[in-house]
Structure 1
Amino acid sequence: MHPDPRTRLTEARLYYLVAAAGDGLDEARIEAALRGGVDIVELLTDGSGASDGSGELDGEQLLAAAARLRPLCDRHNALLMLHNRPELVASADADGVHIDTTAIDLAQARTTIGPDRLLGASTHTAEEIVAAQSLPLDYISVGPVHATPIRPQARPVGTSLVTFASRNSTLPFFAVGGIEAHNTGAVAAAGAQRIAVLRAIAQASDPALAATVLRAEITSPADFLERYRARTEAQNAAARARLEPLAPGERPWPLQLASAVALLAAVVNVVAFLAGAKLQGGSLPVGELLPFVFVMLALAAGMWRRSAAALLVFMALLTLIIVLFSLFLIEASNLLGVIVPLLFIGGGGFLFWKLVRVLGRIQAPAVGPPGGPAGPPGR
């Protein structure tokens, strides 16, 4: 059990509903979500969110699942909640229980879990929100804000009920139901400071990034530009945290290719000059050739030495080439005039895209020695 669950509850912004049944209990995914910013994990006991349609867990199965997640939550200072099973809270060493059924009396649930653990309940109407204020609760959920396949029978309440809760609830509340990164801003603008999600993390290809973005969305200011900036910063921070710095002497193939292209450009121009190539009827001017050759050789050497500055200059030149050939494409009058620019645009764009990650790896901070202190990004 967390040493101070109520204080941690007031700090919480992101609540993750986890299917304890079937294939839902993916510990690696849950820990990634905790690293990304999840504050509370709730074990669902009825199979909600499990893609294999698993049913209700028995007590032993739920306790086994809780035993696997308690260390993860402790490691990330997160709360662990059970779903509709107050009688198992103490045995599971959980921080509390969330009740979303009228079949369980809330006063009895409080007696069962004791005064030190958290008790939450679901609300779906303004009347339920008002009534909850006089019940022995620590928090409520409000929703479903949007339709969700997890509870297909539940009618969406929209953001208006979120606004009502923000104005009338003295209890902390979590907006829940169909909340994803793209609509969290509207939920926050309606007055929510906390959200509960399932699919937005459970079905994300990168659960840590999903949690980071969701947390940024609910904690950032309501102003659109400020929200966009906060979301972008969160995404960038999560992306940087996943970058692996280049190993000593490592040169990924995009870096080798870029260095070779710069070197080839210098060599081709020198050979063309020595061969007496003509440009618009005249010889290549030495005053223009030498600076170009020098710059290309410097870029080739710099990129080979894994210089971020050299790579940035090369990428800027690559951008100019892509723009130039885009103009050629507009003026193309035959098939060859279309194919050649497309090859340069496609090849240059692909190389640029690959070099962006290489640049990030060059600039990524070095990893400390094994066993050194480490902390989750963005927390």
Structure 2
Amino acid sequence: MNKQEQLAVGRRLLGHIDGRTTDLADAIFHNRVSAYASRERAALERDRLFRSRPIFMGLSTRLPKPGDYLAEDVAGLPVLLVRGADGTVRAFANICRHRGAPVAQGCGNARAFVCPYHGWTYDTAGKLLGTTDKVGFAGFDVAGHGLVRLPAVERHGLLFARPSPLAEGESATLDVDGDLGLIAQDLAALDLATYPLHSVDRVTPRINWKFAVDTFLEGYHIPHLHRKTIAPYFIGNVGTFDGAGLHGRMCVARTSIDALRPLPEGERNFRPHVISIYQLFPNTIVIWQVDHIEVWRAFPDRDDPGRCEVELAIYKPHDTDKPDAYWEKNRDIAIRTVLEEDFPLGERMQIGFESGAVDEVVYGRNEPSLVHFHASIRSALGVAA
């Protein structure tokens, strides 16, 4: 957020604290538990949410140098994201055009990608440089068998790719500004390209991917579930919410915000006292913490709607003078809070969803970010419930 937006959000938060209120959704929202447990619903989500629209892949600093690459599966499609020799970020299906083996794994830096199966080699622009056994493939159309291109873009210090091949005549560059709407300006103001990657962790909880996102979209649970960990530092069940198309921003106040009350508004700096939580549809949470960026991404299991993979990435300021031990402490707090409190309870909830004992869950008006997220899912899927 820019300075004026920070002041506006700060005023709203102080008003809610004084009035014992919070931003409210228009109405209570009822969601059928099949949204978390149905295989048919899961298949629809993979197709329409994860394969048909831009997916956030990380901050630009995930691929800082030419040749840097990231390989991961996105809803069943192996994706290779690479910064080319010209500095442009491109995305490809991570599938060799010979027999389908992945040409890269994990992350790293490479001048070319060599398939581990038979040694076919591709450059960072996806071009097939050549095959092994020239006699066996004499006359083969090398130029027409580069890696399959996926649309991608680097914008506002963020990386996006769409996990489906380019259509004939389609631009290889995604228009994410049109999709992000007003939130694009907000993200640009964060100067995210100046935050290098500190750490990446992945876990596979037995929960639906949407529950992993739900975890971060309301502060109602903080005084209850997190009373012995982070609750003393936050004002629970108080927050602001602003929607931007399918995306949204929720802001919550730290208890330290009261220190600003004696100051004239022009002298107030809300930055250390407000946490901004950006929900980038469909599966990403970007948290603007006091002095670093925390990114959570949730991906559905290929077969089981009750499983997912969740990634936590910590990005620190480029000009920090704090030792690695400081950032490791922040990483540890984030991991322990979610993995020891949120996700274990979520796994018990998932069992309940799958039991057939209840038909629905309910989101209150005091959970507007959660309501917006699930209403956005319904809209994107074209379903009524």
If the length of structure 1 is used for normalisation, what is the TM-score?
Answer: 0.23
| Higher normalized contact order (CA 8 Å, seq sep 6+, divided by chain length) | 2
- Identify, as 1 or 2, the structure richer in strand: 2
Which of the pair has more CA radius of gyration? 1
If the length of structure 2 is used for normalisation, what is the TM-score?
Answer: 0.23
- Identify, as 1 or 2, the structure richer in helix: 1
